[in-house]
Structure 1
Amino acid sequence: MRLSTVILPIYRWRQGQQVWQRAEELGFHAAYTYDHLSWRVPFRDGPWFGAVPTLTAAALATSRMRLGTLVTSPNFRHPVPFAKDLLSLDDVSEGRITLGVGAGGTGFDATVLGQEPWSPRERADRFAEFVALLDRLLSEDSVTYDGTFYSASEARDIPGCVQRPRLPFAVAATGPRGMKLAARYGQAWVTTGDPKLFEAGTPEESRDAIRGQVDRLGKACAEIGRDVAGVEKILLTGFTPDRNGPLQSVDAFVDFAGRHAEIGITEIVIHQPVPDTDFAVDPEVFERIATEAPAQLGR
């Protein structure tokens, strides 16, 4: 079981640098950040910095910990310029970048460029094309492509990624089409659990739902002759019925993580504490979890 963290891009870099460096000192496997242009209350009207420059700075401020987005979506990204950013990030970090990628939702990011929100079907269609084109752009020196939503004309990404054949994708998915994308393109799969259970579900129901998701990922892998054991299975916490309960003590977290390891989760991601928000947990307990829980989980 790997333990990672999410650091929201809310800090001016004088402070943010210390937060990212502390995450590495605590021994986290990876530190991710959200890739949004803005996010929900209470963050919408406060500082919120870009994911790519934040990760670039974090790459220069750290040396061992993996870094990445959790997650990027097509809502405001085009694969061609974004692939160039990712290639550059992978170079600056000396091969420590993971791209978390998902279909996106209907919030601020979906309309900030002036477009109408996409239907669920169009989001899924765009997501499939977005991931497939990014895969080619990050794996090939020159790509020409004429698709339904995206095009590329001799898009060049030389010298390619430090990580070969390209940097890893962590594909966020729960539905059938997303699972097929994760099976085909993902070195990892990401879930936040079942959103329908967040308000009124129980922890047991949540684990059952995640177990079902893992089973569906396995079936999607089997359909293309891939061993699902080769796909890391990442749980981003804070969105299950437990909310922040597992972060109230080391014992609570070890119990939570152990139960999810039993159903196939291989990496758990916890949010860096942010006071007066849904992620307001005791910083001292957070650091104890980071330093003490992995040994108890057999990492």
Structure 2
Amino acid sequence: MRHGVVILPEHRWRDARRRWTRAEEIGFDHAWTYDQLMWRWLRDEPWFGTVPTLTAAATATSRIELGTMVATPTYRHPVPFAKEVMALDDISDGRFVCGLGAGAGAVDDLVVDPVERTPRQRADRFAEFVEVTDLLLRQRKTSYSGEHYRLDEVSMNPGCVRRPRTPFAIAATGPRGMRLAARHADTWITAGAPGTFDARPYEQALPDIARQVRAVDDACAAEGRDPASLRRLLLAGAAVGGVLDSVESWRDTAGRCAEIGVTDLVVHWPRPGFPYAGDERVLDDIADDLAPVAAGGRR
């Protein structure tokens, strides 16, 4: 089991830096931040840009993987985004993970893209977005003609540090998205039941996760891929609650997740209030479990 943490981009860097470096010291395998312009419950609160935040985190750390949770075509075009991914991959010396998702069609989405799309339309655009981004990061020159994107000899030089490209982590809960993850991703992401922001106790939520894991296994089989080659990441906190209530609940969740085939468990850095309210001291207890791994390098 690998462990990660989401750090919201809500603090000025002089304060945020401590959280990113502490995440590495604790022994987390990966740390993420949300790729949003504004965000759900914190629309009127401080909120900083994703790529500058991850760039700063890359220069402040040396071991931990860093990623977007998750980038969507709502805010991103494949060409400038691929350039930023290539730069983050270089600055982090190959520690960047490109987290991708279709977007939920929420109010924040309409700030940049005023066209309201159906779930099918968002899925169509996302499939093309993933395909184009994949090609850009694998190739020195890319041309492409699709419904949503058209490229003519776009150059990507020098390419990614990690070959054949920066790894993808794709968020998906439906059959089509899972097939896309099976085709392109190194890691599949779920946050639990789709569209749910009322966290159930993890004991109640995990049976749904187990069903999703079986579905992504089927998606891999349909794509001719060994299911064991795809990592499965559970993002706790929105639909799956109680994980960071104590170090015991964290250990219990990790054990139960491993039993159902989850390979990566990600929590949110505890905040003083809603959302993700919690006590940072629990992270110190987690550090006692993860410290040997942190000292020895990546899992």
Asked whether the two chains share a fold, i.e. TM above 0.5, the reply is yes
**Residue in 2 aligned with 1:155?**
154
**Residue in 1 aligned with 2:9?**
9
Q: Are 1:78 and 2:71 matched, yes or no?
A: no
**Residue in 1 aligned with 2:64?**
65
Which of 278, 282, 292 is 1:281 aligned to?
Answer: 278
| Pairs within 5 Å for 1:208-247 | 208-241=207-240, 243=241, 245-247=242-244
CA distance in structure 1 between the aligned counterparts of 2:282 and 2:238, rounded to whole angstroms: 19
| 3-state DSSP of counterpart to 2:254 | helix
CA distance in structure 1 between the aligned counterparts of 2:146 and 2:194, rounded to whole angstroms: 32
Deviation of the 1:158 alpha carbon = 0.7
CA distance in structure 2 between the aligned counterparts of 1:165 and 1:262, rounded to whole angstroms: 31
CA distance in structure 1 between the aligned counterparts of 2:207 and 2:76, rounded to whole angstroms: 34
1:134-186 CA-partner distances (Å, limit 9, x unpaired): 00000000011111011111111111100000000001001011001000000
CA distance in structure 1 between the aligned counterparts of 2:10 and 2:100, rounded to whole angstroms: 20
Residue 85 of structure 1 aligns with an amino acid whose one-letter code is E
- Larger CA deviation: 229-238 vs 269-278: 269-278
| 3-state DSSP of counterpart to 2:144 | strand
- Larger CA deviation: 109-118 vs 62-71: 109-118
| 3-state DSSP of counterpart to 2:40 | coil
Contact 1:195 1:239 in 2 (8 A): no
Normalized against structure 2, the TM-score is what?
0.93
Q: Are 1:259 and 2:256 matched, yes or no?
A: yes
- Unaligned regions of 5+ residues in structure 2, if any? 293-298
CA distance in structure 1 between the aligned counterparts of 2:173 and 2:15, rounded to whole angstroms: 35
Residue 27 of structure 1 aligns with an amino acid whose one-letter code is G
**Residue in 1 aligned with 2:174?**
175
Residue 289 of structure 1 aligns with an amino acid whose one-letter code is I
Normalized against structure 1, the TM-score is what?
0.93
Residue 87 of structure 1 aligns with an amino acid whose one-letter code is M
Flag the 1:203–1:15 CA change in 2: closer, same or farther, 3 A: closer
Deviation of the 1:287 alpha carbon = 2.4
- Larger CA deviation: 275-284 vs 121-130: 275-284
Deviation of the 1:206 alpha carbon = 2.1
Where has structure 1 moved over 3 Å in runs of 4 or more?
Answer: 195-205
**Residue in 2 aligned with 1:20?**
20
CA distance in structure 2 between the aligned counterparts of 1:18 and 1:165, rounded to whole angstroms: 33
Contact 1:254 1:293 in 2 (8 A): no
Contact 2:271 2:279 in 1 (8 A): no
Flag the 1:175–1:26 CA change in 2: closer, same or farther, 3 A: same
**Residue in 2 aligned with 1:165?**
164
| 3-state DSSP of counterpart to 1:152 | strand
Contact 2:94 2:161 in 1 (8 A): yes
| 3-state DSSP of counterpart to 2:104 | coil
Deviation of the 1:196 alpha carbon = 6.4
Flag the 1:114–1:248 CA change in 2: closer, same or farther, 3 A: closer
- Aligned-residue CA RMSD in angstroms? 1.8
Deviation of the 1:33 alpha carbon = 0.5
Deviation of the 1:114 alpha carbon = 4.7
Contact 2:270 2:278 in 1 (8 A): yes
CA distance in structure 2 between the aligned counterparts of 1:28 and 1:267, rounded to whole angstroms: 11
Residue 259 of structure 1 aligns with an amino acid whose one-letter code is R
**Residue in 2 aligned with 1:55?**
54
**Residue in 1 aligned with 2:145?**
146
**Residue in 1 aligned with 2:296?**
none
- Larger CA deviation: 105-114 vs 215-224: 105-114
Flag the 1:267–1:83 CA change in 2: closer, same or farther, 3 A: same
CA distance in structure 2 between the aligned counterparts of 1:81 and 1:248, rounded to whole angstroms: 40
